[in-house]
Structure 1
Amino acid sequence: MKEEQGARLRRRGRKLPRWLDRAVFWLREVLYWSGLYTFKLFGKLYNRAEVYGAEHMPRTGPFIAVVNHQSHMDAIASALCVRRRVHVMVKDSLFKIPIVGQWMRLVYMFPVRRGALDRKAFERALEVLRRGDVLFIAPEGTRRRRWDEPPPKPRTGFVRMAQAVGCPVVPVAIWGTQRVLPPHSFFPRPCKIRVKVGEPILLPPLGPGDQRREALERQAEFVMSKVYELWEELDALARGRS
């Protein structure tokens, strides 16, 4: 963690005093862990959240959790299934919101430009994984508001990250957040949330050649198909209980 902050300071050409560096580190830790367990408690009590397959989350080592994207509540719902420090890629426009943007940076979220090749965000993600930390990412790129519509084509960045680091990919399905916080809503509703974690996937290495892009797309689509399968299982469970 100290290495992460030191690297950022070197890139900016500045160096914080040791006492201030340590103060920032502990501030981030307090904000992250208190926020994580607050969200867990909120989800359990307010949204009657249920989590399935949490045992599939690796307890050590780097991995990429790949999630579907339905609502701004997805990042909070993701907290229900983790007990480790997690870094989350979030669209850059949200970091421009006063106070919210500063808070997101402190709790290990970092910006990514949507719809463009963001080399800075990609390198930041690789740093996270090479330190042995966890990365959450939504390859759909934008919220999928209707499940009966065809899924968007997934971005392949997470596949390239997993290939570069050699870490597993964990499919995670989130169900119900689109009801909790629909578009243009500001306060979450007391609707049920379900999260299901699949078994880790170690993607096979890619060979050289002109078919590399197609191979990246196939692997991205394969992982997302596992996420969608988990979502369908959660949806069937919800329908069976309704």
Structure 2
Amino acid sequence: MVVRKMREKKSWAWWLAEPIVRAALVSTTKHDWIDGENIPATGGCIIVLNHVSHVDPLTAAQLVYDHGRLPHYLAKSGLFKNKALSAFFTAAGQIPVERLSKNAAGAFDAAVQAVRDGKCVVVYPEGTITRDPGGWPMTGKSGAARIALATGCPVIPVGQWGAQQLLAPYAKKPDLFPRKLVTMKVGTPVDLSDLEAKPRTVAVIQEATDRIMAAITALVEDVRGETAPPERFDMKKAGVRQIGNPNKPEGTT
């Protein structure tokens, strides 16, 4: 793995958090970064990846950081309700989003501006930890596709596996020992060039979303050495809640 030097200016939040998070991950995980050079060294871009654990935003941040970029996440707005946490996440350049809300449009505008400003924006297209029984990527939401089509920036897919062994979905306690292997494989940019000039119809956005999810799924297949189900899990069709712990009744978290 080739580690790039950080070119971007780091805020106080990054100077504070990076050594703490890295020490925690080094003590609990081993990592295998594959084809990380596919992450652009400069310029606005979107990193899209599958979501298997509440801890994988940290391991994904480590991947992006190790390749010389500061990750800017679309983070759920609940993390910004505490004043101290809000100040920290804002200083770190994270973008609050109110999921399943009309106010999510503000996050879209902020993400588009971040990309145009040359930032590396990280998006989980599934919108939540996968509900697929086998842990495979689900159907995707349209946010990443809409940002990409609005900016024409590279969309870099990542397939990852292993973080769920450290912290299973919605588990209260991590399994710290022995250290868990987290593997992340970075793909080449998803080709959306033929869609950029087309009107932003539902069909065009869906096609872009499907291409993004297909690229992520193919990388997860490579990492796992297995074949994904022929049809991606759809939360709406399955009748499972789209946010929060799916094992608890609606109205609880």
* Structural mapping, 1:43-192, within 5 Å: 43-82=25-64, 83-97=68-82, 99-117=84-102, 118-148=104-134, 151-182=137-168, 183-187=170-174, 189=176, 190-192=179-181
Deviation at 1:97, TM superposition (A): 4.8
Structure (1 or 2) with the greater helix fraction: 1
**Residue 213 (structure 2) pairs with residue 227 (structure 1):** no
Deviation at 1:41, TM superposition (A): 4.6
- Alignment match, 1:5: none
User: 5+ unaligned residues in a row in structure 2: which ranges?
Assistant: 1-8, 227-253
Aligned 8 A contact 1:206 1:212 in 2: no
Instruction: Give the direction of change, closer, same or farther, for the CA distance of 1:158–1:146 in structure 2 (3 Å limit).
Output: closer
Deviation at 1:146, TM superposition (A): 4.1
Q: Report the Cα distance in structure 2 between the residues aligned to 1:30 and 1:188, rounded to whole angstroms.
A: 31
C-alpha offsets along residues 153-204 of structure 1, whole Å, 9 cap, x if unaligned?
2111211211111111000122112221121324463322111111122412
Aligned 8 A contact 1:206 1:215 in 2: no
- Alignment match, 1:14: none
Aligned 8 A contact 2:139 2:213 in 1: no
Aligned 8 A contact 1:51 1:80 in 2: no
Q: Report the Cα distance in structure 1 between the residues aligned to 2:48 and 2:142, rounded to whole angstroms.
A: 11
Helix, strand or coil: the match of 1:193? strand
Counterpart residue identity of residue 141, structure 1:
G
Deviation at 1:88, TM superposition (A): 0.3
Q: Report the Cα distance in structure 2 between the residues aligned to 1:37 and 1:50, rounded to whole angstroms.
A: 19
C-alpha offsets along residues 108-154 of structure 1, whole Å, 9 cap, x if unaligned?
21211112341111111111011111100001011115452774321
Q: CA RMSD in A?
A: 2.5
Instruction: Give the direction of change, closer, same or farther, for the CA distance of 1:150–1:175 in structure 2 (3 Å limit).
Output: closer
**Residue 21 (structure 2) pairs with residue 32 (structure 1):** no
Aligned 8 A contact 2:158 2:184 in 1: yes
**Residue 240 (structure 2) pairs with residue 215 (structure 1):** no
Q: Does 90-99 or 155-164 show the bigger shift?
A: 90-99
Find 1:236's aligned residue among 211, 218, 225: 225
User: 5+ unaligned residues in a row in structure 1: which ranges?
Assistant: 1-25, 238-242
